[in-house]
Amino acid sequence: MKISCYILDDEPRAIDDLIRFIEKTPVLTLKGYATDPFEALNYLRSHAVDFLFLDISMDELSGLEFIELVPNKAIFTTAHESHAISALSYVNTVDYLLKPITFTRFMTAVKKIEAIFLNPVHKELQPAPAATFEAKTPTGQIVIEYDKVDYIKANGSYSTIFYEGKKAFVSMPLNDIEALFPRELFARVHRSYIVHRQKIAKRTYYHLTLLNDVPIPLGRKYKEQLD
C-alpha cells in the first residue's frame, strides 16, 4: 500500500530536499507540492491526500493556521524548535522535522505515519506493504526482495547490496539504507556493513559469518543491535 503525501513550503530548496527523500521511500507517493498555501488549499479540497509535510513559517498563512483549515495529518517542518513544539498541541500533528532535515530523521517520522495508515486494524482491508526494495543503479532501476538480501556494504556515497550470489550498486549511502530497511530484518553491525539478521550463521566477539560463509566484521559499538 502507498501512503500519499503533499508538500507545502515557501522555500523551493526545502521542497527539493523532501522530494528527494520521498523518492527514496517506496511506501510514499507524492501527490503534489506548493509554495503558496492558497494553492495548496484548493488542491486539497478536491484531492484525497493522507498527510502533509507542512512548513510552519510562511508569510501569507502559517502552517499552524493552515492545519486548522484541513483534515489531513501533518508532519511539520521548521528551522525553529520553539515553533515545532507549538505544533505538537494540534491533534493532527504526527511529528516535526527541524531543518536542515536528515534522511534518518525523515524516516523516523515516516515510521510514525506508517503506524497510523498501516496499522493492524486496516490490514484485512488493505494489501500488505511491499516486501521489496526499489533503487536506482548505474544500469537502471532494480527491485530486490528484502528476504533475498544477505548484506550491504558501504562504498563511499554508494552502497553495494549482495543478494542471491549477485550484487547491485545503488546510489545511496549506508546511513540512508539503514534508515530505509526494516530494522526487524536488518542490523547495522559495522560502520561499513548492514546484514540480514536471519542470514547470520555464527558470531564471535569481532566477526560474523553468514550462512553463505561470508565473513563480516562486527564493530564494538554495534554489538547491542544484535542482542
| Tens digit of each residue's pLDDT (9 = 90 or more) over 126-167 | 444 447 787 778 888 788 888 999 999 999 888 999 999 999
Per-residue pLDDT of the chain (227 residues; tens, 9 = 90+): 799 999 999 999 999 999 999 999 999 999 999 999 999 998 998 899 999 999 998 988 899 899 988 899 999 998 887 766 677 778 889 999 989 999 999 999 999 999 999 875 544 444 444 477 877 788 887 888 889 999 999 998 889 999 999 999 988 889 888 877 888 889 999 999 999 999 999 999 889 999 999 999 999 888 877 77
Cis before 173? omega within 30: no
Give the structural domain span for 36. Answer: 3-122
Question: Taken in order 72, 74, 177, 156, is the CA torsion positive or negative?
Answer: positive
User: Which pLDDT score, from 0 to 100, does residue 121 have?
Assistant: 53
Please tell me whether the overall predicted TM-score, pTM, comes out greater than 0.85 for this model: no
Does 196 fall in a domain?
Answer: yes
Based on the fold, state whether residues 11 and 94 are members of the same structural domain. Answer: yes
Q: Which residues contact 167 (CB under 8 A, 6 or more apart)?
A: 160, 161
Based on the fold, state whether residues 19 and 63 are members of the same structural domain. Answer: yes
* Domain edge (last residue) among 122, 142, 160: 122
Based on the fold, state whether residues 79 and 109 are members of the same structural domain. Answer: yes
User: Which pLDDT score, from 0 to 100, does residue 126 have?
Assistant: 43
Based on the fold, state whether residues 29 and 116 are members of the same structural domain. Answer: yes
d(C-alpha 189, C-alpha 191), whole Å: 7
Based on the fold, state whether residues 169 and 109 are members of the same structural domain. Answer: no
* Domain edge (last residue) among 95, 122, 149: 122
Task: Evaluate whether 136 touches 170 at the Cβ level (below 8 Å).
Answer: yes
Structure confidence by residue, pLDDT tens digits, 91-112: 889 999 989 999 999 999 999 9
Domain tally, the chain: 2
Task: Evaluate whether 18 touches 7 at the Cβ level (below 8 Å).
Answer: yes
Does 127 fall in a domain?
Answer: no
Based on the fold, state whether residues 143 and 118 are members of the same structural domain. Answer: no
